[in-house]
Amino acid sequence: MSKAMKKTVSAWALAGASVLAIATGAIAADRPADLAPLGDPPIPADNPQTPEKIELGKMLFFDPRLSGNSAMPCSACHLPDAGWDFPDKISLGYPGTVHWRNSQTIINSAYYGNLFWAGSSKSLEAQAKSAAKGAVAGNGEDDMLEARLAFVPEYRERFKDVFGTEYPRLSHAWMAIAAFERTLVQTDTPFDNYMRGDDAALDDAQKRGLELFTGKAGCSQCHNGALLSNQKYYNLGVPAYDGWETDELAQITFRYELYAKGSTEEMYRTFKDDPGVYFRAKDKNHLGKFRVPSLRYTKYTAPYMHNGMIETLEDVIEFYNQGGGENEFAETKSELIKPLGLNDDEKADLLAFLESLSGERIVMEEPELPEYDVLPAASN
């Protein structure tokens, strides 16, 4: 592995640490030192928030015209009523395809240093662009998407008011969507209130679960800080997605992704599982590793893991209690993953604590979308 690649891999972890430092709220003196309440999300200097930009971004988030077939908006894979993710093992794919990874929730995504399961996008702006143009996601083309926006009078007016351009620019669309997504945060969970000093915010079972989380269960080794994620990459031994065994389209998508991301011919022909963050640096030590997700809002985001192979939070706890699982990348499985020896009461307490990391469900009505120009009738 080259020095440049090592530097890149190290930068992923550093980015996560800096974001967590920004996101931390005030902590009561007697609370666990490796956890924190969530503060305000970081806002990039080159994309400041304004009400007008946020409203434009909300419209674009729900607008299917930002996709190849005008039917796949951001909200197709991040449904508000389903946890702002997709309620199946694998995310919804572009028509005629299937996706190959689980859809992660948009809630609190503003705090991540890198987006997607393998950290392939460095910002919400880049994530929006990648999703809208991804071959098995939005499958859009720049000129086509930008032209569609230009044919909508209200969008021309709104983009001019927010960005000062005569016609909508696609780069500004990604900025507006990111601005909207930075409003989708939850900082008032029972856990946050407890960490700020409200002893009554957690019940007895949740407090016992917190002790397990930071102690016997060892969860906070990776799920720490304000985001409940150290944003590093691990192989837990999650089994391969079972859809690849029987679904022809899923098999084709998997082989396509291996080829498109730069697999060797041997990998292309023999791999039966997702190589994960390996694709970021082509380092075999990273095979099967994925970024630690935040545990916030997980009450509403089943199923779990990068391929949705664990159905419920109870199943997640049992998975860890058994010492993780097995996949074809056994050499890279984290040494942190080992049997926990939790009894039924302890597992119930840990589940109660995990549920305290989610507040009320965040829902909203879809905005009314503006219409295209009406073309004049042809004259005789």
319: pLDDT strictly greater than 70:
yes
pLDDT value of position 102 = 97
Question: For the segment 114-126, what is each residue's pLDDT rounded down to a tens digit?
Answer: 999 999 999 999 9
pLDDT value of position 300 = 98
334: pLDDT strictly greater than 90:
yes
1: pLDDT strictly greater than 80:
no
Question: For the segment 66-116, what is each residue's pLDDT rounded down to a tens digit?
Answer: 999 999 999 999 999 999 999 999 999 898 888 999 999 999 999 999 999
What percent of the chain is modeled with pLDDT above 70? 92
* Count of C-beta atoms within a 10 Å radius of residue 204: 9
Which among 123, 322, 103 has a CA at the least distance from the CA of 217? 322
H or E segment at 207? helix 204-214
pLDDT value of position 29 = 85
Mean pLDDT of the region 135-146: 93
Mean pLDDT of the region 362-371: 96
pLDDT value of position 23 = 59
- Rounded CA gap, 134 and 125, in Å? 14
Mean pLDDT of the region 13-40: 72
- Rounded CA gap, 173 and 155, in Å? 10
Confidence label for 20 from pLDDT (cuts 50, 70 and 90) = very low
C-alpha 324: how far from its chain's center?
A: 22
16: pLDDT strictly greater than 50:
no
pLDDT value of position 4 = 43
Question: Which one is predicted more confidently, 281 or 210?
Answer: 210
7: pLDDT strictly greater than 80:
no
pLDDT value of position 331 = 97
Mean pLDDT of the region 255-276: 92
pLDDT value of position 12 = 42
- Rounded CA gap, 208 and 179, in Å? 38
Question: Which one is predicted more confidently, 63 or 26?
Answer: 63
C-alpha 30: how far from its chain's center?
A: 31
Asked if residues 369 and 60 have their Cβ atoms less than 8 Å apart, the reply is: no
380: pLDDT strictly greater than 50:
no
Average pLDDT, the chain: 92
pLDDT value of position 19 = 46
Mean pLDDT of the region 22-33: 79
Asked if residues 335 and 247 have their Cβ atoms less than 8 Å apart, the reply is: no
| Helix 51-61 with 153-163: angle, nearest 10 deg | 140
Question: For the segment 271-310, what is each residue's pLDDT rounded down to a tens digit?
Answer: 999 999 999 989 999 999 999 999 999 999 999 999 999 9
What percent of the chain is modeled with pLDDT above 90? 86
